[in-house]
Amino acid sequence: MSNLVPVARQLLSKSLAYLPTPTLGRVPQRYQPHQPIINPYQEEKNLTHLGQRIITSLEDRWAIVGMTGSGKTTMAKKLLDHLRDAYPAARVYILDSKQAGDFDDVDGYRINDEIAPDILRTPGAVQIWQPPDDDLDQYDAWFKKILLHRQPAIIKVDESASIINKNGDAPEYYRKLNKLGRAFGVCLISLTQEAAYIPRTLLGQATHIVRFRLLDGYDVKKIDKLVGRPKEHHGLDLPDPYGFIHRRVDKALPGHYYKNHQEFFGG
Ligand SMILES: Nc1ncnc2c1ncn2[C@@H]1O[C@H](COP(=O)(O)OP(=O)(O)OP(=O)(O)O)[C@@H](O)[C@H]1O
Ligand SMILES: [Mg+2]
């Protein structure tokens, strides 16, 4: 017994550094912080009714085509209002390469720099990017930031002719957003004056096509076919100045003619 006392003293006098270092194993999954919620607006639970017949979600891609002054921007702004009401946490990114004052009444962060702006930190915020020139690399960098952020968003490209290259296609990350954005609830709305300027990727991936009045041309017939007009009507003008045909293309539903956006949205 008396032998044990010095041993105990010796042990107690040793610094704690002599204690074995605990080894940290992999923290089990249940103790890890929660994964961020990817798309809180999954389509199956978050469909939105626009007007009487049209159903949409943040997973949709809209191609809106029509000649200058046909009402595209006006209609797309109403669409944006509806989507923002339905999905208030979605960030809104507007690319306004035309800078004709169409978004002066929209409340948001305005950026006039040529460098792609950063993603929005606040859910529900609005960014209006009005770059001085069309720089496809910067557009690509912008789309990339939005995709990598992986948060619900609405992207509106007011003139898709600005973002396409000479092969008629859009930058890599725009194409990726078209393909992958659904998982995060990234909705794309692209407008253009001529059917030829609809990015090729978008034509393949669009869920909604809206055809306003168009100048006659080869591509007009192509669009008329897509929106389900009977063959004998291909290329024919529409009867009202702000009228358009809308078709949900991914569900192979028939197209419908609306005399203006008021009739479409039921307002
Ligand atoms: N349904 C409507 N009823 C009355 N006026 C409308 C309607 N839609 C658009 N307008 C008016 O027509 C004008 C042109 O509309 P808008 O700017 O939407 O056209 P756009 O297709 O975007 O043209 P651009 O290709 O030149 O940008 C605007 O002054 C707008 O207020
Ligand atoms: Mg416009």
Q: Where are the domains of the chain?
A: 58-219
Band (36; pLDDT cuts 50, 70, 90): low
Band (58; pLDDT cuts 50, 70, 90): very high
CA quadruple 144, 149, 152, 155: dihedral, nearest 10: -30
- Nearest-CA residue for atom 9 of ligand 1: 71
Contacts of residue 198, defined as CB under 8 A and 6 or more positions apart, other chains included, come to 63, 65, 160, 190, 192
Average pLDDT, the chain: 87
Per-residue pLDDT averaged across 137-144, rounded? 98
Q: What is the pLDDT of residue 68?
A: 96
Q: Is 242 in the pocket of ligand 1 (CB under 6 A)?
A: yes
Q: Is 101 in the pocket of ligand 1 (CB under 6 A)?
A: no
pLDDT value at 44 more than 90: no
Q: What phi, psi does 60 have (nearest 5°)?
A: -90, 160
Band (149; pLDDT cuts 50, 70, 90): very high
Q: Which of 59-73, 80-94, 213-227 has the lowest mean pLDDT?
A: 213-227
Q: What is the pLDDT of residue 228?
A: 93
Taking domain 58-219, whether its CATH number is 3.40.50.300 is answered by yes
Q: What is the pLDDT of residue 196?
A: 86
Task: Tell me the whole-structure pTM to 2 decimals.
Answer: 0.85
Distance from Cα 267 to the centre of ligand 1, integer Å:
17
Pocket test for ligand 1, best of 238, 242, 246, 262 (most atoms within 8 A of CB): 242
Band (35; pLDDT cuts 50, 70, 90): low
Q: What is the pLDDT of residue 38?
A: 64
